[in-house]
Structure 1
């Protein structure tokens, strides 16, 4: 497995939060993308919200986050964090997805994603949110 990182979800304040974290940790954003860059993934009120931001914060650790788009509903204490796994292959991504989602709710099966990755999301049987990603270009 390449890495496990925290993924934080916000209700429209992701940019302000990550500007704050960037000031505290230092460094530069590795990625900052808005929902408007992929209009098929959002409604009209979401285009300026953060779809994905990544801030390296140490040896191999990346703090990641996004805003919830309108169709996801409100952000609550139970859905504001996710465990993100950066897999080292499609096969490893499938293995982890299948094992960890067993008995849970695999609401986005592993599939090729528009950002040149293999990606899936689920809640495990204990209610913890997970996302698994394998980047084709590393």
Structure 2
């Protein structure tokens, strides 16, 4: 059994802050936990817009708190995000995530992330990270 607390993980290398300071993600479950998916609590800072295009991963995102919107770039549709909303990127959807207030999100990735990933210039996480995250 694996047991972790968000508070402990936030004080470790499991907390990753984006280079542009738009978001932070605390990775509670990672590839080296051997569950086949990863689980993160992500905070999107208020009044930011983040371009994301997970070409190598599928993601489900559940809004715990805050308000914002996600715009799918292939069709320009804007979906409001508020507590209780889940959006599922089942087609590697390229999108813009906008936070009107600070968003707190629970995120699941398949395949699992190693823990060190940040978005590249195209909004993509690499499929494999060279250095594995420690437990």
- TM-score tier (shorter): 0.3 to 0.5
- Give me the TM-score of the superposition, normalised by structure 2: 0.33
Which of the two has greater helix per residue?
A: 1
- Give me the TM-score of the superposition, normalised by structure 1: 0.32
Q: Which has the higher contact order (CA 8 A, sep 6+)?
A: 2
